[in-house]
Every structure is written in C-alpha cells, then in structure tokens.
Chains A and B, each alone.
Chain A
Amino acid sequence: MTSDSSSSPSSSDTEFADPNPSTDPGTNSERVQSQLESMNLSEPSEVSDGSHTDYGGGDDDDDAPAEVALSNANEGGFTNGRVVREDLAETSGEEGREASLRAEHPVEMEAGEEPPSPTSSGYDGERGSSGGATSTYKADDASEDEIREANGDGDTASQHEAAWLPGKRHVHEDDASISWRKRKKHFFILSNSGKPIYSRYGDEHKLAGFSATLQAIISFVENGGDRVNLVKAGKHQVVFLVKGPIYLVCISCTDETYDYLRGQLDLLYGQMILILTKSIDRCFEKNAKFDMSPLLGGTDAVFSSLVHSFSWNPATFLHAYTCLPIQYALRQAAGTILQEVCASGVLFSLLMCRHKVISLAGAQKASLHPDDLLLLSNFVMSSESFRTSESFSPICLPRYNPQAFLHAYVHFFDDDTYVMLLTTRSEAFYHLKDCRIRIEAVLLKSNILSMVQRSIAEGGMRVEDLPIDRRLRQKASSTNNQGQDTGGPDRLRDISVGTGGPFGLWHFIYRSIYLDQYISSEFSLPVTSHRQQKSLYRAYQKLYASMHDKGLGPHKTQYRRDENYTLLCWVTPDFELYAAFDPLADKAMAIKMCNQVCQRVKDLENEVFLQGASPFSW
C-alpha cells in the first residue's frame, strides 16, 4: 500500500507544477489557499471535542484543544496589536518578506553557519558508515518493501513496535480522523518527491496523500523561483523548511513565533542528521523516489521526545546548555579526568545527568555546539536500550560535521548519570571502555554519583532563596495585597499573589553569552502546573525572539506587562536575563530584583556553570 501511494505525488505534480507559473502573488496564494483547504486546516475546528482521545504522555498538551482559548488570551500581551488573522494578501506579503530575507543569504547559508570540520577526512564513518550505509540502504530498499507488504497487518514486528515505542502516539490516526485534524501542532518530514518520512501523529504511511499535498505546495512555489517559508491560515501557521531533498513542515496553532517554529524544524532536521548523517542526500540523488522512512525505524521515541522538549526545555530556543548545580571541586575533579580521557585520543567526553551537563571536555580545537549537545542528550535519554548495558553506536553531530559518523560509547552509571565518549575511530570501543573504567573510579572516589543524586533532589536555584532587604519586602507585599483586591487573571486567582520570590519574582533564566550556558530557576508558586510553565516558556520565547530581532543593538532592556506576568528582559554583551514577575509587580522593584538575581548568579557561578573547560569558547 505504501508503494502505491508514490503515484499520488507525481499526479499532484502535474496538477500544480504550472509550466508558466504566475508571478502574481495573489494567484499564487490562492493556489496555496486551495491546498490548505484541501488539508482541512484553514478553518480550525472549535467544535467541542467529543472525540478527543486521551493521550499517553499526559504532560504535553500541544494536542489539547482546550488550550486554544488560553493561548489566544496570552497573545494579547505580546502581539502589540498585530492582527492575528491575516488575509491572503498579507500572507503573500509575509511570504515575500521571508523570501527576500532568504535571498540575502545564499542558499548555502546553512553550510556557512557550520564550522568546517577540522578532521573531516579522518572519519571512519565516511568509509565504513556513511558511504557503505548509503549503498546498502538502497540495495535493500526494494526487497524490504515487498516483504512488508506480504506481511500486512499481522506483522509481529510492527505490533511490537507499537508496544515498545512509547514515543509514537495516535498511530491509528490519519488525515481523515477528526482527532488528527484537531492536534494543535503537527510536524512532518517528507522527501521532495512527496514520500512521508516522519509524522508526529499518525502513521506516516497512511499520510502519503497528505504528504503529497505538502510537497505540491512547496514545489509549486519553488517552481515560481520563490521559496515558501510561512503560510498563515486563520489560527494556523504552516512553517516550511527545505533542506536539500528533505522538506520539513510544522502546522501549528500554538501561538509560537515563526522564528521559534522554524528553529524547531531545524532541530528536528538535526536530530535526523544525528541518526543518519547528511549522506542520506545521496540516496535521493540516485533515486528521487527513495523511501527513507525505514531508515528511521525504531526512532519515534527520539523525535517525540525532542518535540516534547520544545515545550519544556529552554535550550531549544536559547541555543545554550545548562549544568547540574554541583560543588565546584567535584565538577573540577570530573573535568580533570574527562580532559585526560580526551588527551588519549577521544574527541569529546561528557558526563551528563539527564539533559544537564556535569562536566565535559573536548580534544584540542574540537568544539561542540549547544544544539549538538541538546540533540545528543535527547537521543541518549530517549533511547531506552542505552540503559540496559554499555553501548557503542554511530552518531553524527550535525553542527560539528553533518557528513560523517562519529562513534559514541555510552554508559549509564545509574538511572540519571551517564558518560558519553565520542571518537572518530570505529574500532576504539575497548579503549573507550577502559576510559570509562578510569572515569568511574574517579567518580566513586570523590562520591560524585551520590552528590549528583543529592543535587537532583535539592533542585537548582530558587527564587525564594534570593536574599532580600526586609524593608523592601514589606512594601512589596502591600502592593501585592492590593493586587489581590483588583483581581488577577482567572487562572491564577485562586493562588495567592505574591508567592514565589521577593517582590513578586516568579522565575528567571540567566544565560551567559560567553559560556554558552544558561541557568533557569526552579518553578515555584504560583507557576506550578505544567500548563502554566509551558505558557511561561512561550512568553520567554517571544521575548527572546523580539530581543534577537535584527537591527537592534546590544544593551537592551524590555519590560512587558500583561494579565499573566510582568516580564523583564535585560541583554548585555555578557549575559541575558529573562525574568517573570507577578503581573502587578512594581516596576522599580522588579528592576532591582533583576540586579539581585544577576549578583546571585555571579556569586554562585562556580556551582551552576562549567567554568574554563568549555570547548565552546573557541
């Protein structure tokens, strides 16, 4: 059934690949609009959702229709009067803007951003993995398909897949399911011939027709010599990212910024490159209709965990990493052994606790991008098999060198703490195993593993712990009491205003530019529910986007107030501070508080940041 669907992309092609594409943007967008309508997404359905099925995760409510109203309420504070619903003329204007932005940067932009690989010729991966893999993939492709079809639905392997891959949800949905259409945020990866590669919801193979439609939109615009980046239709944003033969699409009504959604697609692409390398492009050169999805077999959990992290992990929009708070001496001890290990011919050694860094080291001149670190830890954390025993696996760091595999030795010391040793040498396993034994000896001797557990239990910085001037606190709490009389926003009304830190400080994120690291305070009252936390992150994302808008200089502050928060952002060449306060917080106090936070972070910098050893500062 899957291979049958390959005919639909080509028929759509003929329908939309106009030999004389109109240059009139109006016509252009009408075609796009009709495509969107055929996707049933131009009118978001707001009918009360009887069919909404419970989702497994429970903690990720992108797909909860009930949130629609909330996120719209949030919007008020941020859009500054921008009309949310844009008609098509505006849409094409948007397109035009994006397209011209794009033109300023040649097509090679992505490649240019990446540091040239210092040792690209030295990779075993290029010979053994990338090159060899490419031809094998292709050769086996046809027979795989046949076997699959013959086996049909009774295929035990795929039954197991559903059972042992917690990542994939709603596999039985397709674009005809009402529940599928109501998901708030879809991600798709497809090939430029319209073959589905990945879909966040539903079975990729059942979405072949839908993929063909997306492909038709992209190629229609491309045939006109343009590039489609964003289409707005009602509440929906459709964001496109073209990476050679691979198309990535996000359809969202989550009220996130275009830049962030595009950044999410970039990370999704990076995750795919981490698993397969960019040499996958060659398969498409040889066979335009190449079916890539079998090559991502068993990785649904990796992608769904990444998508989930877009709503909880600030690293996904800050492009910085975070450390587990731990005593300076312990971090130093770990760093020293990791550096020794790197001196013995290991490219990167990382000691991690979940997605947080305990310490890391790199070989001389080797630099690890925070995004690579994010994708790497997401991959390891979401692939359960790493926890059963020590493993040796090819992985590619997209920012380091997207073309070649590295080889990663992964070992979990306990449920949370693990070491990753990365090398270019495919036969280095026993050496890496020895390195791990040496590292483990140091960890045992200095008792780091139990200190890590303690740090997890204690959590990171808390706004409640910030030292404050008593007199000022009194004044501040009287302000807050006032606030309670006038009434807070509905969703916070039941929680006493003014809890959290001093002067209504609820939360902050401090990002050190020089270190490429950030520290985020623990969530405290009243930002306790997952929904509130997610909404706060979305507010930060917008703040981040607006602060990083082009054409604005350094040394900036921004102060925003809406019914949910007072947000304060302060950007200097050294750091960025994002802080959320009670919506009724006093502005002068809030500014004072921000200074206090910065001071506090500086006081604790040896415990909360990895100092010196950072290979990112190259």
Chain B
Amino acid sequence: MYVWCVADRNSGTLSGLNSSENAVPADAKNLRVKLVLLGDSGVGKSCIVLRFVRGQFDATSKVTVGASFLSQTIALQDSTTVKFEIWDTAGQERYSALAPLYYRGAGVAVIVYDITSPESFKKAQYWVKELQKHGSPDIVMALVGNKADLHEKREVQTEDGMELAEKNGMFFIETSAKTADNINQLFEEIGKRLPRPAPSS
C-alpha cells in the first residue's frame, strides 16, 4: 500500500500534507498517490493540471497563490486505476520555502520548466537537487519541458532535458498544455512507474 507506507514513514518528524484519514486504502488495482508539481512561475504547471483534470486551457490562467489542490483518476491499460491527488504549487519566489510542506510524503514529483526559458530550466535543476536531498527516497520523479508548441522560440534543447532526467533517474517528456500534446501520456507514464503495493497482507 504505497501511499500509506510513505505517509507512515514520515508521520513522526515531518508533517507534510497527507490525508491520514483517507477513507479507502489503496489496493493493487486502485492506486492513489500524492503528486506535487514544482517549477518556476509561469512555466505552465497550473495549465498542465487544468488540461489534465478538466480538459481546458485558459491562456489567461492566473498566477498561483500558495498551492491549489485537485484530483483526477485515470485507468491504465492493465485496468488498474490511479487516483492522483495533485498539489499545484506556486512558483513565485516567496513560496519556495514552503515547498517542503507540499512535497513531503509525495509519491510523485513533477518538475516543470518552459522550453523557451533557460532560466526556468535552471530552476528545474534546483528542484531536482532539493528533492533528492529532502524528498521521499522512493519518490517517482518526472521532468517536463512544457510549451513544446512554441518550438520556434525554443531555448532549451530536448537533449538537455533528457540528459538531466537520465542523470537523476527521472522520467522525461515534453508537453504542451495549450495543444494537450503529451499531457495524458505524462500522467499515464507516471501511473505505470508507480511501485505496486504488495499483495494484500
């Protein structure tokens, strides 16, 4: 029972945002996992989530305050379902000290940058380091290069993203929240990589 294990391990010293009162424990066929999105302000974290959860894209989407909470369940091909409890964090600088509150106990971290912004790629590297130091040891990490539709303005090469991901054992994908390209794939791939709970004890 993946989520429960993670939550238990951390419950002593770290108090993250974990739904200890989760009614239904996950089983082998129905996973549930806490996912946190991290990355510079404006890279498109909220757009990715809203595209995934509501199928919408709003070009005027607004800068996140603190963190937003959304959830979405998907079915994988092997007929397991995964319920994602998503923390869409604010990329604004003043909130960076709060990030541990959201990534503690998270089973998945999605680190997002904007392929048109090398600055945001630097920030992604910072988050990778931070999570390796302070995240759960068995956290599943994904690196996402967003705004892939803006290829003519690209400043971060796909290879650079891939290299960073490989070095750190992350899953890598380029997405566009605007065109919906690779958004579902991102979450499906994450779902496949989740450790399956041991058969019920």
- Chain A residues close to B by CB (< 8 Å): 128-129, 132-133, 135-137, 140, 144, 147-148, 150-151, 155-157, 160-161, 163-165, 275-276, 294-298, 383-386, 388-394, 408, 426-427, 429-430, 433-434
Contacts and interface: CB of A to CB of B under 8 A. Distances in A.
Contact of A157 (B40, B65, B95): B40
A126 B1 CA distance: 34
A297 B15 CA distance: 28
B168 interface: no
Interface in B91-140: 92-98, 100-101, 114, 116-120, 122
A156 B114 contact: yes
Interface in B12-64: 15-21, 40-42, 46, 50, 59-64
Nearest to B119: A147
B70 A389 contact: yes
B146 to A, nearest CB: 12
A129 B102 CA distance: 13
A427 B67 CA distance: 13
B171 to A, nearest CB: 25
B68 A297 contact: no
A147 B41 CA distance: 14
Q: Which interface residue of B61, B65, B88 has the most chain A CB atoms within 10 A? A: B65
A136 B153 CA distance: 31
Contacts of B114: 156-157
B195 interface: no
A384 B62 contact: yes
Q: Which interface residue of A135, A151, A276 has the most chain B CB atoms within 10 A? A: A151
A429 B69 contact: yes
A308 to B, nearest CB: 18
B63 A298 contact: yes
Among all A-B residue pairs, the 3 with the closest Cβ atoms: A393-B66, A384-B62, A298-B63
A128 B17 contact: no
Contacts of A426: 15, 101
B46 A295 contact: no
Contact of A393 (B41, B67, B100): B67
A241 to B, nearest CB: 22
Given A144-B93, A386-B65, A430-B19, A156 B122 contact: no
Given A157-B117, A297-B94, A427-B17, 14 more contacts: A147-B119, A157-B114, A163-B59, A275-B94, A297-B41, A383-B62, A389-B70, A391-B64, A391-B69, A393-B90, A427-B15, A427-B16, A430-B17, A430-B19
Given A276-B94, A298-B92, A427-B15, A385 B42 contact: no
A429 B46 contact: no
Contact of B96 (A140, A151, A389): A140
B94 A295 contact: yes
Nearest to B150: A156
Contacts of A433: 69
A147 B97 CA distance: 20
A284 to B, nearest CB: 16
Contacts of B97: 128-129, 132-133, 135-137
A226 B118 CA distance: 49
A430 B98 contact: no
Contacts of A132: 97-98
B43 to A, nearest CB: 8
11 contacts: A129-B98, A133-B98, A276-B94, A296-B94, A298-B41, A383-B62, A385-B65, A389-B70, A390-B69, A394-B98, A434-B21
A479 B169 CA distance: 86
Contact of B69 (A136, A150, A389, A394): A389
Classify chain B's interface size.
Answer: 35 or more
A304 B40 CA distance: 24
A150 B119 CA distance: 9
A306 to B, nearest CB: 15
B64 to A, nearest CB: 5
Contacts of B70: 389
B32 to A, nearest CB: 13
Given A298-B63, A384-B62, A430-B20, A156 B116 contact: yes
Contacts of B65: 383, 385-386, 391, 393
B127 to A, nearest CB: 13
A418 B54 CA distance: 21
B68 to A, nearest CB: 5
Given A161-B42, A427-B15, A427-B17, A385 B63 contact: yes
A385 B69 contact: no
Nearest to A407: B66
B101 A294 contact: no
Contacts of A408: 66
Contacts of A393: 65-67, 90
Contacts of A151: 117-119
B94 A164 contact: no
A570 to B, nearest CB: 42
Contacts of B66: 391-394, 408
Nearest to B14: A427
A156 B17 contact: no
A419 B90 CA distance: 21
A140 B119 CA distance: 13
B68 A385 contact: yes
Nearest to B49: A389
A389 B153 CA distance: 31
Nearest to A393: B66
A429 B17 contact: yes
Contacts of B63: 161, 164-165, 297-298, 383, 385
A163 B58 CA distance: 12
A404 to B, nearest CB: 13
Contacts of B50: 388
Contact of B68 (A140, A296, A388): A388
B93 A137 contact: yes
Contacts of A386: 65
Nearest to A391: B68
Contacts of A384: 62
B135 to A, nearest CB: 17
A137 B60 contact: no
A391 B67 contact: yes
A434 B59 CA distance: 32
Interface string B151-180: 001000000000000000000000000000
Nearest to A130: B97
